[in-house]
Amino acid sequence: MTKHLIDWKFWEKQEIINLMELAVKVKKCRWDYQGLMNGNSLAMIFQKTSTRTRISFEACMAEMGGHSIYMDWLTSNFMLSSIRLETKYICRNVAFIVTRFKDNKDLLEMASASEVPVINGCCNLYHPCQALTDLLTIKLDCGYLEGVNLTYVGVYNNVVNSLVSICGAFKVNLTLVCPIKDASITDEESYQKLIKQGLLHETLDLQEAVAKADYVYTDTWMDMEFFNDPAFAKQKKNRVSLMEPYQLNHQTLKNSSAKVMHDMPIHLGYEISEALVEDDKRSIIFDQAENRLEAQKALLIYLKGRKSF
Ligand code: CP
């Protein structure tokens, strides 16, 4: 059966642990994998904008001797036909498909039609490549994951769902400070599983949460496709007003020695202050972003190893 990455909740714990070990190895020896993807192509089907996901997957394939093909949804013939039929064609050409879909249902439809691994490069519900990178970043920074206190401050979103579904495999303590939580987004099954494991805590006491954190992580307060959309200006205003006290800055982190994380793109002056991003020694944001490449290189190697192409 073809192995896809929709979210970590669909992977066995041991598979995730093995993949993380591989990602650590890849990070240490980035150039040891040259030629591994010779003759293989990766199709990237994106309905939304991207910098890191696109750049890092393309760089992964180039560094390993493979090729990547980027397709903007609007200029493809997915616009004219069905996801199933177009996917059945694409997977006769390429070894992997990476998607950025607005709706997880479309991703599931593609995965069910694909004979090659489909990797979720972010959908409305999950962002598994980001969550893998986040834990890889922590492991590389402090050497271990078990017992680490990771505090996420912001809106409960797709990144949170994927953190909730991966943290259990490594016994990471996840604290959520999320004043806005959309029930239609929340993956209740993964959430309850992590609660049962005693690894998930929720609070709105920001000071207490950041004081005990080893890592503090934040993300955009608005979905990327709506951030600059005038139709969502009112929602944005309301959110900014509600979320402002939760901005990561020198004041809110005055009692914290935690390292600071952000998955980027950053909205300066919204979820995080400018001074914290580049000039504060606690920021590991650019290391985190860089690690997308090695995390995804490991993912491609792992998926390729399951089947000969
Ligand atoms: N973090 C992330 O996925 O970045 P992009 O949206 O730029 O790909």
* Predicted local confidence at residue 231, as pLDDT: 85
The average pLDDT across 104-126 equals 98
d(CA 175, CA 177): 7
Q: Rounded to the nearest whole angstrom, what is the distance from the C-alpha of residue 162 to the centroid of ligand 1?
A: 14
Q: Quick one: 168 and 264 in the same domain?
A: yes
The average pLDDT across 248-269 equals 97
Calculate the CA 212 to chain-centre distance.
24
Q: Quick one: 69 and 161 in the same domain?
A: no
Q: Pick the closest to residue 250 from 212, 223, 277 (CA basis).
A: 277
Q: Quick one: 135 and 269 in the same domain?
A: yes
Q: Quick one: 71 and 172 in the same domain?
A: no
Q: Quick one: 99 and 244 in the same domain?
A: no
Question: 53 CB under 6 A from ligand 1?
Answer: yes
**Predicted confidence band at 306 (pLDDT cuts at 50, 70, 90)?**
low
User: Of all residues in the chain, what percent carry a pLDDT higher than 70?
Assistant: 99
Peptide bond into 245 cis (omega under 30): no
Is residue 90 included in any domain, yes or no?
yes
Per-residue pLDDT tens digits for 183-236: 899 999 999 999 999 999 999 999 999 999 999 999 999 887 788 888 888 888
For the chain, what is the domain count? Answer: 2
Is residue 3 included in any domain, yes or no?
no
Q: Quick one: 96 and 150 in the same domain?
A: no
Domain of 102? 8-126+292-305
d(CA 86, CA 128): 24
Q: Quick one: 50 and 77 in the same domain?
A: yes
Q: Quick one: 85 and 174 in the same domain?
A: no
Q: Rounded to the nearest whole angstrom, what is the distance from the C-alpha of residue 53 to the centroid of ligand 1?
A: 5
Residue located via tokens 């290391």: 287
Copy the structure tokens of residue 161.
């769902």
* pTM summary value: 0.96
Q: Quick one: 117 and 14 in the same domain?
A: yes
Is residue 2 included in any domain, yes or no?
no
Is residue 1 included in any domain, yes or no?
no
Question: 225 CB under 6 A from ligand 1?
Answer: no
Question: 262 CB under 6 A from ligand 1?
Answer: no
Question: 56 CB under 6 A from ligand 1?
Answer: no
CATH number of the CATH domain containing 77: 3.40.50.1370
Determine which residue's CA is closest to atom 2 belonging to ligand 1.
Answer: 52
Q: Rounded to the nearest whole angstrom, what is the distance from the C-alpha of residue 102 to the centroid of ligand 1?
A: 14
* Predicted local confidence at residue 279, as pLDDT: 87
Q: Pick the closest to residue 24 from 213, 270, 266, 298 (CA basis).
A: 298
Determine which residue's CA is closest to atom 6 belonging to ligand 1.
Answer: 50
Q: Rounded to the nearest whole angstrom, what is the distance from the C-alpha of residue 22 to the centroid of ligand 1?
A: 22
**60 CB contacts (<8 Å, ≥6 apart)?**
66, 293, 296, 297, 300
246 has a pLDDT exceeding 70: yes
Q: What is the largest CA-CA distance in the chain?
A: 55
Q: Rounded to the nearest whole angstrom, what is the distance from the C-alpha of residue 11 to the centroid of ligand 1?
A: 22
Question: 295 CB under 6 A from ligand 1?
Answer: no
Whether 149 contacts 173, CB under 8 Å: yes
Q: Quick one: 276 and 134 in the same domain?
A: yes
Is residue 111 included in any domain, yes or no?
yes
Q: Quick one: 167 and 222 in the same domain?
A: yes
Q: Quick one: 108 and 230 in the same domain?
A: no
* Predicted local confidence at residue 232, as pLDDT: 83
**301 CB contacts (<8 Å, ≥6 apart)?**
22, 26, 33, 36, 64
CA angle 217, 104, 88 (to 5 degrees): 130
Per-residue pLDDT tens digits for 16-75: 999 999 999 999 999 999 999 999 999 999 999 999 999 999 999 999 999 999 999 999
Is residue 55 included in any domain, yes or no?
yes
Q: Rounded to the nearest whole angstrom, what is the distance from the C-alpha of residue 289 to the centroid of ligand 1?
A: 9
Average pLDDT in the chain: 96
